[in-house]
Amino acid sequence: MNNKAEDPNLWNDAQEAQKLMRERQQLDESINGVKAIEQQLRDNIELIEMGEEEGDEAIVKEAEDALKAVKVEAARKQVEAMLSGEADTNDTYLEVHSGAGGTESQDWANMLLRMYTRWAERSGYKVELLEVHDGEEAGIKSATLLVKGHNAYGWLKTESGVHRLVRISPYDSNARRHTSFSSIWVYPVVDESISIDVNESDCRIDTYRSSGAGGQHVNTTDSAVRITHIPTGIVVACQQERSQHKNRAKAWDMLRARLYEAELKKREEAANAEAASKTDIGWGHQIRSYVLQPYQLVKDLRTGVESSAPSDVLDGELNEFMEAALAHRVNGGADAVVDDLN
């Protein structure tokens, strides 16, 4: 690959050259990551040996904790090595949609939006909120995030599906337990080198006034844009920019990405279950349950992975769930037979 990269004729085909340079960069990052882990292993093993010789328990404890962190990083690198799908390295869109249930599910959708924003920021990704439709009393009806960075789609793609929340409702004066549903839909940003033809005559374009926090920047013109692709029923919307022209351009990009993702899904067996989860936000299409009361537990219904700290999960601690789901998909296993939480 180095010989190819140094070939003076390489840039005669710019597209092929860019692909090669991306692959080279990914290999460099992977190799350097493995070398760094090996070095940390050696360093901390030496520290433990030195601490034991000198009877310094503090040094031994510090090195053991460091080795635990190395183990976590090694597991993450192992999963990242599996991200070899066509669009895994791309930036990604993430949509949140509240299910039936009014304020309850809209508040739950808002909690999920925060959870994925926190995960992305902690993972070093750049996050942009492209559009949001506020709920009537609290929360949101829907929102779209753009997550930018290497392997963003690869990491998030297994989060598509329905997420279930069980808790004592803060909106119920009788403090009863409520079950709420919201769905997540993840699809990759289309690489500029990929041609997706969209016939404008197949689309309906609507403009509307964007919703938001208000104040001096509240939009008083119909700058938000919604595009409906009539043949597929795909709907995208953008209200991030104050200019209708810019929102329209971003909405077209989002539509191209959705159509590309639909084509990718045709090649994946997992597509059928994910498409069903989009149309029916309720029982039978869940991927994960989050119980806050009467006990605390988050459980993935595909892999069986659990956490007894839902507050941490809702604050963006999702790697364990994502890694298990990715390994599960790569290994081609059937979903685990996992009982849902009551």
What total of structural domains would you count in the chain? 2
Share of the chain above pLDDT 90, in %: 51
Average pLDDT of the chain is 84
Q: Contact 120/319 with Cβ under 8 angstroms?
A: no
Burial classification of residue 66, based on how many CB atoms lie within 10 Å of its CB (0-12 exposed, 13-18 middle, 19 or more buried):
middle
Burial classification of residue 183, based on how many CB atoms lie within 10 Å of its CB (0-12 exposed, 13-18 middle, 19 or more buried):
buried
- 43 within a domain of the structure (yes/no): yes
The yes-or-no verdict on residue 73 having pLDDT over 90 is no
Residues 153 and 266 in one domain: yes
Q: Are strands 306-307 and 92-98 parallel, antiparallel or unpaired?
A: unpaired
Residues 22 and 120 in one domain: no
Residues 294 and 316 in one domain: yes
- 222 within a domain of the structure (yes/no): yes
The yes-or-no verdict on residue 300 having pLDDT over 90 is yes
Residues 54 and 140 in one domain: no
The yes-or-no verdict on residue 33 having pLDDT over 50 is yes
The yes-or-no verdict on residue 46 having pLDDT over 90 is yes
Give CA separation, 314 vs 11, 77, 110, 131, 139, in Å.
Answer: 46, 23, 11, 21, 15
- 336 within a domain of the structure (yes/no): no
- pLDDT value of position 335: 57
From the list 216, 231, 218, 142, the residue with the least C-alpha distance to 183 is: 142
Residues 141 and 289 in one domain: yes
87 band by pLDDT with thresholds 50, 70 and 90? confident
| Cα–Cα distance for residue pair 145/35, rounded to 1 Å | 34
- pLDDT value of position 327: 83
**Mean pLDDT of all residues in 4-17:** 70
Of 7-11, 73-77, 243-247, where does mean pLDDT reach its minimum?
7-11
- 342 within a domain of the structure (yes/no): no
Determine which helix (DSSP H) or strand (DSSP E) holds 227, and give its type and residue range: strand 224-229
Q: 0.85 exceeded by the pTM?
A: no
- pLDDT value of position 176: 87
Q: What residues make up the domain containing 14?
A: 2-80
- 36 within a domain of the structure (yes/no): yes
| 49-59 per-position pLDDT tens digit | 999 999 999 99
Name which residue leads in pLDDT, 121 or 74. Answer: 121
| 263-286 per-position pLDDT tens digit | 777 766 454 454 445 545 554 578
Name which residue leads in pLDDT, 76 or 99. Answer: 99
Query: Of 80, 112, 133, which marks where a domain is finished?
Result: 80
- pLDDT value of position 213: 47
- pLDDT value of position 154: 92
Of 22-36, 165-179, 213-227, where does mean pLDDT reach its minimum?
213-227
| 196-230 per-position pLDDT tens digit | 788 899 999 999 887 654 444 445 578 899 999 99
**Mean pLDDT of all residues in 136-163:** 93
Query: Of 80, 114, 134, which marks where a domain is finished?
Result: 80
- Give the domain CATH number at 102: 3.30.70.1660
The yes-or-no verdict on residue 307 having pLDDT over 80 is yes
The yes-or-no verdict on residue 147 having pLDDT over 70 is yes
